[in-house]
Structure 1
């Protein structure tokens, strides 16, 4: 049933749209489009399915796992928005969609971050300013930090309800901080990638350049993969910048209540990268990356099956194996 007016928060007990609980008083301020939300849910579901099938087939394990998880979380978020079309006061659906859609791109970013390591290893590791094997150990923890900060913010905001405005604002600030950190990490990754690209482009013209690297650099499939990752990266970056602007005004601000901007700058800016990353799979376009990931999983499996505690390792072998874990 709908709520009645209270002196402190007149919409505190609203559960459905009525004259006393208008749609304009909800956080979103509108009836979410059922058609677009079903479209996005299907798009993310399809991207996740394609990623899982091709990733399992070609054994791009970690790339597949993070991208699939991100797509499934997006699927859950947009599926939760569908019932909001019938009842914008549906608290459970609103909290599910806001948490899932805010957090999912962080997982998708991890798949993008993994590509830099394998590009460096396949072309010329020596040109990277950072040892290629360390890239995942730099970007993944930073990305997880973004995820945790946003998750904490979402939990605080959800627990605040209508009763604790201080806690609500604290949660909002945490979400903004997490998304802002994500933009910084994305820019750091983009800068590192561009720097490596410029160094390789100069080196590749040298007659002494490795023939295998030159062949890979000129390979049409490899270039398509790089273009696909670049487009996906750009889409996620645009989405994160939009989210900062959306959250900066607080819950229920004009940007948050503008559905067309949400559809374009949140929905399409994430579903397009997911579909691109799924369709232009490294298993087909960048076999070196797939082979390296498959070999890494095999090495870890063999290591886990070793029963002898007296197994010895050559000095330095541990560091070499660490660089190929992801």
Structure 2
């Protein structure tokens, strides 16, 4: 998909019949809209994190920031369709941005477990370390693959296959990590139901649980799409038709991060946690009987 050198150095208008790096001219409207959405989400997340002093929720702000950079790159590409810097900017950021959002989701599950005091397959800290480590590995693999593929795309007759395969490996590993995480989350909910502890979840927590589930599903759909897209190669049908990218990448990640602006995690964990179950399995709710414990 490499364009001729005459179109790579300057900001030149789209020329019919002269393909750029994308195989099409990126939509200016899509770039502006999604850049605005992610920019707004990032700003609100930063304000919410500072207001609530819930600094860990800045993971969502970072995810939105990286998405903003990626869609800014695509907006740049809409104005300068043959600019390789803009192309490299968007490809290197949009592939890794969801990693920061999933990291925040891992913390949320840990907070639920810590609040309920229910045994899970892993401790809250272990969830954070295990799955965040998986995310870092996935991020590094995707970044290396993306860098290799980007360099190959910018070269005449460059071979993008090695870099693409590495990127796909990183995405598949991320999907596997998310799948294991979902299984652990499902096991936690099963334990809550079996021990009749669902009543411990406040209205805010139930909404957060729904929001988290929706975010995971959206990120999972996006991961499936990107896997299929990259497996088809840089001249495949999906990667050369922008509508799929806008709908199944930006259209999935935008609500996946904005849902936590609407239902902010810190609002659900301000009442403290219940005491651990006693030997007979009975649980006394410390929200009524004991001091509140700030969980930030």
2:117 is aligned with 1:117:
no
Aligned residue in 2 for 1:179: 171
2:38 is aligned with 1:44:
yes
Aligned residue in 1 for 2:217: 234
Aligned residue in 2 for 1:26: 20
Aligned residues of 1:236 and 1:269 also touching (Cα < 8 A): yes
2:250 is aligned with 1:267:
yes
Which has the greater radius of gyration? Answer: 1
Distance 1:254 1:91 in 2: 21
Pairwise CA distance, 1:154: 1.5
Residue segments in structure 1 that go unaligned for 5+ positions in a row = 1-8, 205-212, 294-326
Pairwise CA distance, 1:286: 3.1
Pairwise CA distance, 1:32: 1.4
Distance 1:291 1:268 in 2: 35
Distance 2:80 2:175 in 1: 33
Q: Kindly provide the CA deviation profile for residues 265-305 of structure 1, in whole angstroms up to 9, marking residues without a partner as x.
A: 10110001111012210122332599323xxxxxxxxxxxx
Pairwise CA distance, 1:75: 0.6
Aligned residues of 1:216 and 1:222 also touching (Cα < 8 A): no
Instruction: Give the helix-richer structure, 1 or 2.
Output: 1
Distance 1:72 1:232 in 2: 17
Distance 2:6 2:145 in 1: 23
Distance 2:205 2:110 in 1: 15
2:86 is aligned with 1:58:
no
Q: Kindly provide the CA deviation profile for residues 168-210 of structure 1, in whole angstroms up to 9, marking residues without a partner as x.
A: 3211111111111111111111111111111211111xxxxxx
Pairwise CA distance, 1:215: 4.4
**Total equivalences in the alignment:** 271
Among 194, 201, 224, the residue aligned to 1:202: 194
Give TM-score scaled by structure 1 length.
0.78
2:246 is aligned with 1:246:
no
2:200 is aligned with 1:216:
yes
Aligned residue in 2 for 1:292: 295
Aligned residue in 1 for 2:290: none
Q: Kindly provide the CA deviation profile for residues 197-236 of structure 1, in whole angstroms up to 9, marking residues without a partner as x.
A: 11211111xxxxxxxx55432x211100110111111111
Distance 1:10 1:154 in 2: 19
After superposing on structure 2, the runs of 4+ consecutive aligned residues of structure 1 that deviate more than 3 Å are 16-19, 163-166
2:14 is aligned with 1:14:
no
What secondary structure, in the 3-state scheme, does the structure 2 residue paired with 1:103 have?
Answer: coil
2:264 is aligned with 1:281:
yes
Pairwise CA distance, 1:238: 0.5
Aligned residues of 2:69 and 2:90 also touching (Cα < 8 A): yes
Distance 1:18 1:266 in 2: 24
